[in-house]
Amino acid sequence: PQETRAAAPARTRRGPAPVTDVAKLCVCDLLVAQCDVNCCCDPDCSAADFSLFTTCSVPIVTGDNRLCSQKAAIYSLDVEANPPERIFKLIDQVNPSIFCIHTTNYKQALSFSSPEMPTSENFDQLLKEFGSAAFSAEPDSWNMNTDAQNPADANETYRYEYGVPIQTVDAFLRLPSPVVSSWCSDANPAAFLVNQATKCTRSLSVEKCGSIQAVSMLFYINSSILAVNITVQSVVIQSLNGMQTSLNGSDVLRLPMILDELCINVVLGVSYHITYTDAGEIIEAAASFVLGAIKKEALSIQQSFEISFTQVNTKPVPLSGNPGYVVGLPVRAGFRPQGYPFPVEILFAALNTNKYGQLTILQSTSSQDCLESQGARTPILFGYNMVSGCKLRITAAMKCQLLAQTLLDLLKGQSFPEYVASFGNSQAHNVLDWVPITHLHNSEQRIYNAFQSSCQIPVSLEIAVKWTKYGSLVNPQARIVNVTATITSTILKQLPSGRERTIPITSSVVFSDISSPAEPGYKAWPTINAKLPFDFFFPFV
Amino acid sequence: NTSHQLSSLPLQILFYLNGIYYIFYFLATLAMIVYKSEVFSYPDDFLAPDLALLLIMAVLEVLRLYLGSKGNLTEEEAPLGLSLALTVGSVILSVYFLVWQTYVLRADVVINAVLLFTYGLESVLKVVAIAAFVS
């Protein structure tokens, strides 16, 4: 026993010896000690079994058929005989080609090499070579590249791509979210540029409120995102009846504590705001808290978490799609400031009546009187055709020019934008991503007579938005290519005094899809890649 | 007496044909080595000796045919004898390509057999010519 134990490490185990005799080789013999159906080479089958077969699944067993002459075992069923019997023949098969292998002096040429048996000496080397998802002929050069990428420097800024979890000093930035049930799980990492908002339930009681980490502010600002500390941007205290008050001094850390049978400073909501550069580095992180109090009878609280990303030096603008417009989100629009194209740092000022930079349309009110509704406007949502309007009561006393100006203001709004974003995420500094609005004027021409001095008042504004499908066939993105605003005017005939007239004023938005039919693109035809190995003329070159 | 000529005409014809055949043999063997290295598993430390020996054989052949032809035409036995000695080397190399190459295809067997037959015939004629020159 002792000497075998000493001898064991020295002896390497070998795999089973390969079978090379064609008469003994049977690939269809899968069941041990049982006859496989239609397997004529199975040694477990008796003559009675053979008589029940219909065909031979393996008719011939040979070695490499590129050899000039080799032994072959041929199995067939003689169905003429009664009962059918198996015929086994061992023949010499001759390959007629002139390029058949006559002999070979390289032993491993025509058979698979036996793999190395792992021992304690070669285990590490084998693991390095075969342990990854793909075996490479040059594992060292590949390993060197990946090592150079992961030095894990806390000082170096780490560049993120979309969807990559944000790393902190110990793990990942956590955004607790419900998994399966509505209970909070702290293992959800926040991904870069993925705006998330989650709500989940956490079990809590007044006695344990000091000991549960996830309801204290410290838990959420403790881990710093590599080189960036998480600062507290604002703290809002929510009282028991739901009233929220914002605190002035947001530097002091408020930890949960028990006060008068209540547990106060319990984190009810966290909102992270991450600022990033366009190279993908995170330069700032701020957290806003909503702290609340829980009563003695409460067994659980609901927490809400949110994370949003803003690019540095830009104002956060709600996107209407990424990149193509999403149906139902507002169409973004803006102005070009004076002096373009010279100062390129000046961004587009989105100065519509709607402060979010959206294209708006007159909103119909219940009173339906144009002059009463003071500029109520509704944003134009992509893909939704809208019609709105009001009724204008014209009296004889109204001055035409003033009326025309008022109606124009009513239809277009205080500051009608000049440009519309062609994609839902168009940035203000990318000039080419914005489409200018074309203005057309239709004047209703009646009989050409000498009374052409009568002025015209605008009665309808039609905004026609032409959009196209852009991008790949499976995921087309909506892109606005043309926006035309057509004002139709009509001649206001002078009314006899005392009379009044009501004319309808309408404004409409129509979206039309002008995408051209998709053209499939074919990949290049495969080419035969035949070239000599680079060291073919070794050792002469 | 100008008609008394010791140079062997059959030998000279054989040298000429040998030269042409060897060019074909060299290109065919090289092409087959390329084919084998693409189709079969031909590691570098088996490929290198085969190629080296083929090139040595080519050099030897050129030298051998030149010396033999010169010796036969000038009716001198020294170059012819040297050529005979080099033939031994060529025979050994041809046997290598016939039997000890990494992969011996049927085509290899055929062209090497033809080459060996040519060498044999040449050797006989050379011996006869040397005997004629010496005496």
Q: Dump pLDDT digits (tens) for A481-530.
A: 999 999 998 887 777 777 888 889 899 999 999 988 877 677 777 788 87
pLDDT at position B124:
95
pLDDT at position A143:
44
Digit-coded pLDDT (tens) for A264-278: 888 899 999 888 888
Q: Which residues of A touch B48 (CB under 8 A)?
A: 538-539
Q: Which of B32, B37, B98, B104 to mutate to test the interface with A (most CBs of A within 10 A)?
A: B104
Residue A405, CA distances (Å) to A39, A373, A457 in order: 95, 16, 8
The span from the first CA to the last CA of chain B, in angstroms, equals: 17
Q: Could you tell me which residues come within 8 angstroms of residue A188 by beta carbon, excluding any fewer than 6 positions away?
A: A174, A175, A176, A177, A179, A198
pLDDT at position A354:
47
Between A66 and A429, whose confidence is greater? A66
Q: Which residues of B touch A100 (CB under 8 A)?
A: 105-106
Minimal-distance CA residue of chain A relative to B45: A538
| Of residues B32, B46, B105, nearest to A106 (C-beta) | B46
Q: Assess whether pLDDT exceeds 70 at residue B72.
A: yes
- Within 63-82 of B, beta carbons closer than 8 Å to A belong to none
Which residues in A423-452 are b (16+ Cβ under 10 Å) and which e? bbbbbbeeeebbbebeeeeeeeeeeeeeee
Q: Assess whether pLDDT exceeds 60 at residue A349.
A: no
Digit-coded pLDDT (tens) for B8-64: 899 999 999 999 999 999 999 999 999 999 988 888 889 999 999 999 999 999 999
Interchain proximity B103–A539, CB inside 8 Å: no
Locus of tokens 């961004």 = A347
Look up the pTM and report it: 0.42
Residue B130 lies in a domain: yes
pLDDT at position A146:
44
Nearest Cα of chain A lies from the Cα of B100 at a distance, in angstroms, of 6
Residue B53 lies in a domain: yes
Domain span including residue B125: 9-33+42-134
| Of residues A68, A530, A532, nearest to B106 (C-beta) | A68
Digit-coded pLDDT (tens) for A366-389: 888 887 777 788 888 998 999 998
Q: What angle do CA A429, A434, A439 make, to 5 degrees?
A: 135
Q: What angle do CA A416, A419, A420 make, to 5 degrees?
A: 100
Nearest Cα of chain A lies from the Cα of B1 at a distance, in angstroms, of 52
Digit-coded pLDDT (tens) for A203-232: 888 788 888 888 888 888 887 777 778 888
Q: Assess whether pLDDT exceeds 50 at residue A538.
A: yes
Digit-coded pLDDT (tens) for A127-164: 888 877 777 655 444 444 444 444 444 445 678 888 88
Q: Which residues of B touch A536 (CB under 8 A)?
A: 34, 37
Q: Is A498 left (phi over 0), alpha (psi -120 to 50) or beta?
A: left
Closest C-alpha among A400, A320, A395, A408 to residue A358 = A320
Q: Rounded to an integer, what distance in angstroms lies between the CA atom of residue A55 and that of residue A40? A: 8
Q: Assess whether pLDDT exceeds 60 at residue B1.
A: no
What type of residue sits at position A90?
L
pLDDT at position A411:
87
pLDDT at position A445:
65
* A367-374 own/partner pairs: CB under 8 Å, 24+ apart: A369/A393, A370/A407, A370/A410, A370/A505, A371/A406
Digit-coded pLDDT (tens) for A465-479: 999 998 888 888 999
Q: What is the mean pLDDT of residues A58-80?
A: 88
Between B4 and A3, whose confidence is greater? B4
Q: Assess whether pLDDT exceeds 90 at residue A452.
A: no
CB A255 within 8 A of CB A309: no
Residue A463, CA distances (Å) to A204, A321, A359 in order: 55, 21, 10
* Burial of A64 from C-beta contacts in 10 A (0-12 / 13-18 / 19+): middle
Minimal-distance CA residue of chain B relative to A95: B106
Q: What percent of chain A has pLDDT over 70?
A: 85
Q: Chain A contact for B35, CB < 8 A?
A: yes
Nearest Cα of chain B lies from the Cα of A421 at a distance, in angstroms, of 58
pLDDT at position B122:
95
pLDDT at position A541:
64
| Of residues B44, B105, B109, nearest to A538 (C-beta) | B44
pLDDT at position B27:
96
pLDDT at position A190:
86
Q: Could you tell me which residues come within 8 angstroms of residue A299 by beta carbon, excluding any fewer than 6 positions away?
A: A203, A204, A205
Digit-coded pLDDT (tens) for A421-439: 899 888 777 778 888 999 9
pLDDT at position A446:
58
Q: What percent of chain A has pLDDT over 90?
A: 11
* Burial of A319 from C-beta contacts in 10 A (0-12 / 13-18 / 19+): middle
Interchain proximity B106–A100, CB inside 8 Å: yes
Residue B74 lies in a domain: yes
pLDDT at position A147:
43
Q: Rounded to an integer, what distance in angstroms lies between the CA atom of residue A174 and that of residue A194? A: 13
Interchain proximity B103–A101, CB inside 8 Å: yes
Nearest Cα of chain A lies from the Cα of B132 at a distance, in angstroms, of 42
Residue B15 lies in a domain: yes
Digit-coded pLDDT (tens) for B86-104: 999 999 999 999 999 999 9
Between A541 and A384, whose confidence is greater? A384
Residue B107 lies in a domain: yes
Interchain proximity B109–A102, CB inside 8 Å: yes
Residue B28 lies in a domain: yes
Q: Chain A contact for B95, CB < 8 A?
A: no
pLDDT at position A448:
53
- What are the residue ranges of helices labelled H in A81-216? 123-130, 139-149
| DSSP tag of A310 | E
pLDDT at position A449:
54
Minimal-distance CA residue of chain A relative to B99: A103
Q: Rounded to an integer, what distance in angstroms lies between the CA atom of residue A466 and that of residue B26? A: 72
SS3 A338: coil
pLDDT at position A418:
87
Digit-coded pLDDT (tens) for A172-201: 888 888 888 888 888 888 888 888 888 989
Q: Rounded to an integer, what distance in angstroms lies between the CA atom of residue A463 and that of residue A439? A: 9
User: For all residues of chain A together, what is the average pLDDT?
Assistant: 80
- Most confident among A16-30, A270-284, A394-408, B24-38 (mean pLDDT): B24-38
Residue A86: which pLDDT band, with cuts at 50, 70 and 90?
A: confident
Residue A212, CA distances (Å) to A178, A206, A209, A266, B76 in order: 18, 10, 6, 10, 110
pLDDT at position A149:
45
Residue A5: which pLDDT band, with cuts at 50, 70 and 90?
A: very low
- Domains identified in chain B, total number: 1
CB A459 within 8 A of CB A490: yes
Minimal-distance CA residue of chain B relative to A531: B38
Q: Assess whether pLDDT exceeds 50 at residue A62.
A: yes
Q: Is A540 left (phi over 0), alpha (psi -120 to 50) or beta?
A: alpha
Residue B82 lies in a domain: yes
SS3 A447: coil
Q: Chain A contact for B100, CB < 8 A?
A: yes
Angle subtended by helix axes B77-95 and B106-134, to nearest 10 = 160
pLDDT at position A12:
58
Q: What angle do CA B1, B4, B8 make, to 5 degrees?
A: 155
Residue B102 lies in a domain: yes
Across the A:B interface, residue pairs with CB atoms under 8 Å apart total 56
Q: Where are the beta strands (DSSP E) in A172-249?
A: 177-178, 184-185, 196-203, 230-238, 244-246
